[in-house]
Amino acid sequence: MNARRTHPLADRFWSRVSGFADRGVLWWTIAGVLAVIGRRRVAARGLGSLLMASALTNVIAKRVFGGDRPLLADVPIGRHLPKPPITPSFPSGHSASAAAFATGIAIESPRLGAALAPAALGVAYSRLHTGAHWLSDVVGGLALGAGVAGLSALVARPGPTPLDAWAASGDDRPLPASPDGSGVFIAVNRASGTSVLRGDPVRVLERRLPLAELHLVDGDDAGDDGDPAAAVRAALAREHPPRIVGICGGDGSVAAVAHEARAAGVPLLVVPGGTFNHFARAAGAASVDLAVDALQRGEGVRVDVAELRFAGGPPITVLNTASVGLYPDFVAERERREPRWGKWPAALIAAVRVLRRSAPVTVIVEGRRALVWTLYVGVGLNDPGIPAPMQRRRLDGGVLDVRMLHAGSRVRAAGALAFGRRTSTLLRRIRLLPKRFESFTSESIEVLVRPRHGQPPGFAHDGEVSIEEPVEASARTAAPGYRTTVRIVPAALDVYRPASTNLDKQRPTAAAARSPRP
């Protein structure tokens, strides 16, 4: 291998691959993307396997087996790493971490594991190409990492995907039933959820609700033809408006149509049709069939919402979270690259760029100045102990759940945002996550956001990002910025949801309720 001549660009590529995997940065980045897209259990399994394999490799195996590394004199100079490693050779820590992470991911999601396998093998090969390890070191590391991940499945068995997770709420509420879809207007955003594999929800809706009016829109188009909320607003303005409105789309589309349903005082049918469907899952509509079941039986619940208002602007209905900081930066960067790369590659590229280049945001919260990586405002109570709540755990309660991650280590901030409560607690105990985390509840909150480098940071709400122009400095603030307020609106919206007894029956067999795949 050392005698084979390779192009300098190939040498540089494999050197950078090896360097990006130092200290698990590559795997932490991928895990962060998985967590952001709602696959926290998958990310936690991969990270847990990586940490166990890394500890076993570096603390025990290298001390027991050790061995000298290849002589750099035998390796072409163009392949040398900038800082050659000096620890014992066997087994390869990079290979063990790569195999452990990819195998851990595969245990929870075989498709994701298969997609990551080339990256893991590429990292392992990079250690050979750069002369950092012998072939036996790499093979031993791969075997050790895969074995550790496999053993983890015996300790903590893989769980189902959280499609059947719903939020707690008050009493079930009877709503108008429509067994055949009469009086129902459903806007279907065809641009939502195109990055995931699922059955066509339109076919299920047409079959089960033959009299419902389905209005197909393409969210990529400009104007009302590409706006689900505009389609619903036009339908409600008719001489004979629908008595029930529905939306099949992602969280942004659901929030926009929820605003129109609130204004008209009609109940809302939420059909999961996006990539993440945070609110649909919280409301018990983990599948198209579950949502239709609730409509046909007239089962529902009254939920809290939040109103986000920029200074001088109209209110915006928020169903899950509003935030400023790393997450809006990530969303804006991903959307900018998505037309060229597709959603998942764009998400990975965006995560890397944001973690490397984003700066903390200066905010003034209720008159108190803070420099933060993120400020999250959740609608209703979320899981405690995590800085980035994505899916509400209560549909009522009348409070906002505010989380602030103060500025500090960039890597630790990324880790804190990436993982769930149990994993975050463990990592905090071993001092891998920051303690600069603050949370409190409130019925309303006022936030002044100051510009970064002269540009206003984006403010995200339910996966959509708004960019506000800075306002002039005032006696209260020393620099220009924009002001926004978020307030809870209790019991503001009726949403179709299977009754609690039906939800309990569905939980063990949620997979059977999913729409059939093509």
Contact 45, 100 (CB under 8 A): no
Task: Answer with the one of 155, 181, 205 that is the final residue of a domain.
Answer: 155
* 132 and 198 together in one domain: no
Q: How confident is the model at residue 478 (pLDDT cuts 50, 70, 90)?
A: very low
Predicted local distance difference test score (pLDDT) of residue 489: 94
How far is residue 163's CA from residue 288's CA, in Å, rounded to a whole number?
12
Spatial distance between the Cα atoms of 280 and 198, rounded to a whole number of angstroms: 16
What pTM value is reported for the model? 0.66
Considering the domain architecture, whether residues 181 and 122 belong to the same structural domain is answered as no
Give the whole-angstrom CA distance, residue 424 versus residue 371.
22
At residue 205, the pLDDT reads 93
Q: Please check the confidence at residue 331 and state whether its pLDDT lies above 60.
A: yes
Q: Which of 235, 319, 203, 231 is nearest to 270 (CA)?
A: 319
Does one domain contain both 83 and 196? no
String of DSSP letters for 155-177: HS-----GGG---B-S--EE---
Chosen domain end from 123, 155, 187: 155
Whether 102 maps to a domain, the answer reads yes
The band of 507, judged by pLDDT with boundaries at 50, 70 and 90, is very low
State how far the Cα of 294 lies from the Cα of 495, in Å rounded to an integer: 10
Is the pLDDT higher at 221 or at 481? 481
- DSSP character string of 282-319: HTT--SHHHHHHHHHHTEEEEEEEEEEEETTS--EEES
pLDDT at 316 over 60: yes
| Residue 414, pLDDT score | 57
Per-residue confidence (pLDDT) for residue 158, from 0 to 100: 61
DSSP state of 6: -
Residues 228 and 362 in one domain: no
Same domain, 200 and 224: yes
Q: Crossing angle, helix 343-357 and helix 410-418, to 10 degrees?
A: 140
pLDDT tens digits, one per residue of 338-376: 778 776 677 777 777 777 777 888 888 888 888 988 899
Determine, yes or no, domain membership for 359: yes
Instruction: State the maximum Cα–Cα separation within the chain, in Å, rounded to a whole number.
Output: 85
What backbone phi and psi angles, to 5 degrees, belong to 266? -115, 155
Tell me, yes or no, whether 178 and 139 share the same domain.
Answer: no
Domain count for the chain, please give it: 3
> 475 pLDDT band (50/70/90 cuts)?
very low
CA pseudo-torsion sign 144, 146, 151, 152: positive
Continuous segment of H or E residues that includes residue 369: strand 368-379
**CATH number for the domain harbouring residue 105:** 1.20.144.10
- The string of pLDDT tens digits covering residues 1-60 is 766 777 778 777 787 777 777 777 788 888 877 776 667 778 888 888 888 888 888 778
pLDDT at 421 over 60: no
Whether 464 has a pLDDT exceeding 60, the answer reads: yes
Whether 355 and 29 have beta carbons less than 8 Å apart is answered as yes
Tell whether the model's pLDDT for residue 195 goes beyond 60: no
CATH of the domain at 454: 2.60.200
Statement to judge: residues 254 and 278 lie in one domain:
yes
Single out the residue in 121, 155, 189 at which a domain terminates: 155
Residue 338 forms part of a structural domain: no
473 located within any domain? yes
- Given the DSSP bridges, would you call strands 464-466 and 213-217 parallel, antiparallel or unpaired? unpaired
Is position 352 within any domain? Answer: yes
Q: What is the pLDDT of residues 334-344, one digit of tens each?
A: 878 877 877 66
Domain range enclosing 503: 164-317+494-513
Q: Which of 117-131, 201-215, 432-446 has the lowest mean pLDDT?
A: 432-446
Residue 476, C-beta contacts closer than 8 angstroms, at least 6 positions apart: none
More confident residue, 443 or 223: 443
